A and B are shown apart, each in its own frame.
Chain A
């Protein structure tokens, strides 16, 4: 009896010893979002794992077949290799495997490589990429951008310096890319990403609803500055009930236009350069009279009833635009932006440019392709990039899918959805051509301006450089302050920039809270980096 009991207990013990193993893995808490937490721990890991092969491309130990002419001609003496590429997107595409297959076939003779592109949806992009780096998953290419932790990825050693590789493996691509783009995307004088060849300047303005512009015969060429809009807003307010003259949500404001015209460089969360300065002394932008004037203007518009009452809390602008609630809204412009917005909202718009196009670091680093430290053959990845920038067939295959299956050619350079396929049913409708290499080689859709790329090039030529082009502030040393400042901004930004709050009352409070959060320390840190950067450039 007793023996039996003991046996039973020991079997049970064994049974839950197994369950114990499994329980040990389980933590009860997976409810919290990991966006902040994981990046830190991932970073440490990656930094720890970042040994000699991660940095420095000259001492590259990979099996490289050096081609004297640098082009991709020596496919025969290259080992087979798979190029793995991660990009963010709205959703994974049904026919991704077929497209990858097609690209692989094409690459076989060129650089003896197969191709594996994977689209990760925007919402999980950061988490997934952090985990991939943390676990040292081997892959070659990924999308990077200034707004998406580019400098962090560099400082953690997760993406490699490509400067030497570009010269060695991609001379043709280098010749194609706008020099200002390649120059402006450098960090500490080195290229960590190949910028997509596209529009490279920021220009701000407003969109106006075309039917109302026609109805009241508004001459948009006379609109040169924000104040010129006021009489038209009055007209709309009086004669078009139910239409908001100037439609805003919590993230948009006329300040984007205002600050671009009134400052050399404006950054609410760090240092600002006043207009026409020459001494490169950073100040707190909020304390300048120009900033106050901007807030005053939007507040007066709000009080006059030009702005929708829910502007400070409204999340999504597009719903109101689609429903025809808006006469005007602020927008970042480029040639043909009005056509794009009309397609997206189903309402016809015209664009009114109110600032000069300016090339800033955010534009040159707006969309890049970088090589991961976990790449087994960075040379091959670079050879692929060289093709991507120079080969029209390849870039269109990756951007738009297979001809006859996903799109059909209307003429040489114009495409439409293939017969029997719509945007909704297409198995490959990524619609993110700006991720891939050289947009000036992209086909144009039937609803796009046939002159689009020419206009882009002209736009790029007309743009002037931002005073701080190429400079990137690295906030690592003032992490705490940056986080606190971000919280203070959450409190005030949407209220002030939508005009809902009176700047006479709230702007001083905002300034005080920013001071308490350590804005001065951040500006001092940025000043230090800026001086070092200018010294390095020899100014």
Chain B
């Protein structure tokens, strides 16, 4: 499956400045080296994706005989043709993935901000306690079985859309603390004070001043949540039995897991193993699934990009 590292520096370095020589600009020699490095780095990031695309468009036997190549040796769209049988399923999976990603990321961003903002306010009485409270969840988790018991037997989230949104994904303690730090460093208490003097209430201050000033951190948090939701297969694995509620990632991951499971048990159980492995979609189909699953999330990063590039610190206090 595609990796989910965020390559902010690579993208940022690609933005070329005006050609005019400026003070403090780096020499053209070092500039060349830096650019060359990042060009190579970007290629190294793109290469596996190209390889997967090419493999998904190759003929199965050609891959077995000649291995992978950037340009398919024998073109074939058989893999996508095979996937088209399951078109309905894939579209439903897409729907589930997109719905959970949008709802989950929005809710996650809102709740993260709502939790982080009071923590950033020096005049909030229980700051220490609530900071520790969320920090505690970072260090200690109950493990899978207790959380499964809570979600399935107490909250009855099994086989609902909520099971794909809430467990383990909705709020990340780390992002809450990051956001809190951003609020503390970027939003000067003087702004809040002057807003209060002008008669703004807490909500007005939060939604009218704090959030608009915090677009960069909200974009970062949003990107993390979006990637987290889009790539999550684990909740589907644990909480979903109804095939209509399975998201796209799990649909694909399932194939991989089946293969791994059967292969790792192949020795102890060769008769069953071989028979079952034969039913698993072939190499090219798995690659085609990979491409189909990558779809929209590839476009997510450029969407967030503008918030990172736009001025990171927004000042509003007269010195």
- Which A residues have a C-beta under 8 Å from some C-beta of B? 1, 4-5, 7-9, 11-13, 15-16, 19-20, 22-31, 34, 37-38, 41-42, 45, 90-92, 118, 120-128, 131, 134-135, 145-148, 242, 251-252, 256, 315-320, 322-325, 331-332, 334, 340, 344-345, 362, 366-367, 424-425, 431-432, 434
Contacts and interface: CB of A to CB of B under 8 A. Distances in A.
A131 B257 contact: no
Contact of B124 (A9, A41, A252): A9
Given A5-B196, A25-B170, A30-B168, 9 more contacts: A7-B202, A25-B166, A27-B168, A90-B258, A90-B280, A122-B262, A256-B270, A431-B279, A432-B276
Interface string B161-182: 0000011111111101000000
Nearest to B265: A147
Given A124-B237, A367-B272, A319 B168 contact: no
27 contacts: A8-B203, A9-B118, A11-B202, A12-B118, A19-B171, A20-B115, A22-B166, A23-B173, A24-B137, A25-B166, A25-B167, A25-B168, A26-B137, A28-B137, A28-B168, A29-B141, A30-B234, A38-B144, A41-B145, A90-B258, A92-B243, A123-B253, A128-B238, A135-B145, A319-B63, A324-B61, A325-B65
B145 A13 contact: no
B156 to A, nearest CB: 12
Given A27-B168, A28-B173, A12 B263 contact: no
Nearest to A94: B243
Nearest to A489: B267
Interface string B236-256: 011001010000000001101
B133 interface: yes
Contacts of A131: 144-145, 148, 238
A122 B261 contact: yes
Contacts of A5: 196, 201-202
A251 B266 CA distance: 7
B147 A12 contact: no
A148 B272 CA distance: 12
A92 B148 CA distance: 22
A45 to B, nearest CB: 6
Contacts of B10: none
Interface string B128-146: 0010011001100111110
Given A37-B143, A318-B278, A123 B254 contact: yes
Interface of B: 60-61, 63-65, 85, 111, 114-115, 117-118, 124, 126, 130, 133-134, 137-138, 141-145, 147-153, 166-174, 176, 196, 201-203, 206, 232, 234-235, 237-238, 241, 243, 253-254, 256-263, 265-272, 274-280, 282-283
B269 A366 contact: yes
Contacts of A148: 265, 269
Contact of A344 (B64, B126, B278, B283): B278
B117 A12 contact: yes
Contacts of B114: 12, 15-16, 19
Contacts of A125: 261
Contact of B272 (A29, A320, A322, A434): A434
A345 B60 CA distance: 13
Contacts of B260: 123
A66 B203 CA distance: 70
Contacts of B196: 1, 5
Nearest to B235: A30
A340 B272 CA distance: 12
A123 B138 contact: no
A28 B268 CA distance: 35
Given A26-B166, A251-B263, A366 B148 contact: no
A134 B147 contact: no
B145 A38 contact: yes
A8 B136 CA distance: 27
Given A4-B201, A22-B111, A344-B278, A27 B137 contact: yes
Contacts of A331: 270, 274
Contacts of B149: 134-135
A22 B278 contact: no
A28 B174 contact: yes
Nearest to A29: B141
Contacts of B168: 25-30
Contact of B257 (A16, A26, A124): A124
Given A26-B137, A319-B63, A135 B148 contact: yes
A320 B64 contact: yes
A15 B279 CA distance: 51
A353 to B, nearest CB: 15
A147 B269 contact: yes
B61 A26 contact: no
Given A11-B202, A20-B130, A344 B262 contact: no
B142 A20 contact: no
Given A25-B166, A123-B256, A320-B64, A9 B202 contact: yes
Contacts of A345: 278
Contact of B269 (A1, A145, A322, A424): A145
A238 to B, nearest CB: 20
Given A20-B115, A26-B170, A340-B275, A124 B254 contact: yes
Nearest to A18: B111
B267 to A, nearest CB: 5
Contacts of A11: 202-203
A126 B262 CA distance: 12
A407 B261 CA distance: 30
A37 B144 contact: yes
Nearest to B119: A16
B65 A424 contact: no
A122 B148 contact: no
Nearest to B242: A92
Nearest to B267: A251
> Which of B115, B133, B141, B253 is packed against the most chain A CB atoms within 10 Å?
B115
B258 A123 contact: yes
A120 B169 CA distance: 24
B258 A23 contact: no
Contacts of A431: 279
B64 A325 contact: yes
A266 to B, nearest CB: 13
Contacts of B141: 27-29
Contact of B206 (A12, A424, A434): A12
A92 B147 CA distance: 26
A121 B115 CA distance: 39
Nearest to B202: A8
Contacts of A252: 270
Nearest to A38: B144
A366 B235 CA distance: 31
Contacts of A124: 237, 254, 257
Contact of B268 (A4, A318, A320, A362): A362
A425 B85 CA distance: 8
Which of A120, A252, A334, A345 has the most C-beta atoms of chain B within 10 angstroms of its own C-beta? A252
